Amino acid sequence: MVQHEKFMRRCLELAELGAGLVSPNPMVGAVVVHDGKIIGEGYHQKYGEAHAEVNAIAQVTSKFDNPDELLRQSVIYVSLEPCAHYGKTPPCADLIIKHQIPLVVVGTRDPFAQVDGKGIEKLKAAGIEVITGVLETECQWLNRRFFTKVQKHRPYIILKWAQTSDGYFASDDSSQLWITGVESRKLVHKWRSEEDAILVGKNTVAIDNPRLNVRYWEGRSPKRVVIDRRLELNKQSNVFDQSVETLIFNEIEFNVDGKNRFIALEDFDRYVPQYILYQLYLQDIQSVIIEGGAHTLQTFIEAGLWDEARIFTGKTVLTKGIKSPQITGIIADESLIGDDRLQVLHNK
């Protein structure tokens, strides 16, 4: 089992390289092991392209003169159950059967209905031995966004905000205030590159005129989600610049203007977080990072609709202003980012 865990950890390392690139698919890593040595490895690199198992087997095929013989004597480790259905690509279970790999070690089953257990069943029916549940908790955590979307029919939700050392979110005079340092801002842009969408309320756009992109990090900017009930925002605001798809939730109109999509909710007085998240789920958005303002964050907190909260506390003292959101959860991590303290909470 120790040997299995060693190679599964490598699968997890590889899988994580697909962060921000494979959604709405899960991140998956695979390694092919022969006589205790890795002879091929791969990961799912981009949505719609080859899966991890395909890339790992292809590496064996390209590196060796006798790949078929080696594969018939090898073990393939994969962090998520091999698929058994035709999607964007053919079933990975069929590929493993074709190459007669005798043992497959799986981190966790795939919760997606078209796969769940079917890949394992197909492999076993072909006479292949399958071991499951190796580092299962770690494999599920890596794909917590995917599992949340499949099992809860909503995106995985990360709350993020910065607060002063005396617990204020912003000044009360609508002036812009930087609470955190450049190191924290770079980290936030890295986080943005890893999520499908970023959500803010109307006041955040009106006061800060943010671009909500990843200019401090190399990566893909997320889709933008704006809550503007009465469509009061200036159409020249940065969020409407057509650089990425932007969803504007309101109570007035359904409309499409280039990459800006206006989505009207029937009831803006009740269940707004629920309605918005279900619409995002229908758009195949797997994860959302909510960055403000304080009222928007508190609304999702009070609805119980959050999974992680990432809270920066800077050294700034404000003495008065808009109080930070109030939240309780399980403390998962605390660290220093430059001069700022970062606390990560998980929802109980």
Residues that are catalytic: 53
Check if the beta carbon of residue 131 is closer than 8 Å to that of residue 4: yes
Query: What pairing do the DSSP bridges indicate for beta strands 197-201 and 246-250?
Result: unpaired
Cβ–Cβ contacts within 10 Å for residue 236, how many? 8
CA distance 102 to 138: 25
Directed axis angle between helix 2-15 and helix 52-63, to 10°?
100
The one-letter amino acid code at 207 reads I
Sign (positive or negative) of CA dihedral 72, 75, 76, 81: positive
Beta bridge partners of 17: none
Q: What is the rounded CA–CA span in Å between residue 36 and residue 47?
A: 31
How far apart are the two ends of the chain, measured CA to CA in Å? 31
Which of 344, 326, 234, 209 has its CA nearest to residue 289? 344
Token pair 């709405």: residue: 24
* Mode of pairing for the β-strands spanning 260-264 and 246-250: parallel
Quote the CA–CA distance of 202 and 207 in Å, as a whole number: 9
Going from the C-alpha of 79 to that of each of 6, 126, 129, 141, 270, the distances in angstroms are: 12, 21, 16, 11, 40
Q: Do 70 and 102 meet the contact criterion of CB atoms below 8 Å apart?
A: no
**C-alpha span between 263 and 255 (Å, rounded):** 7
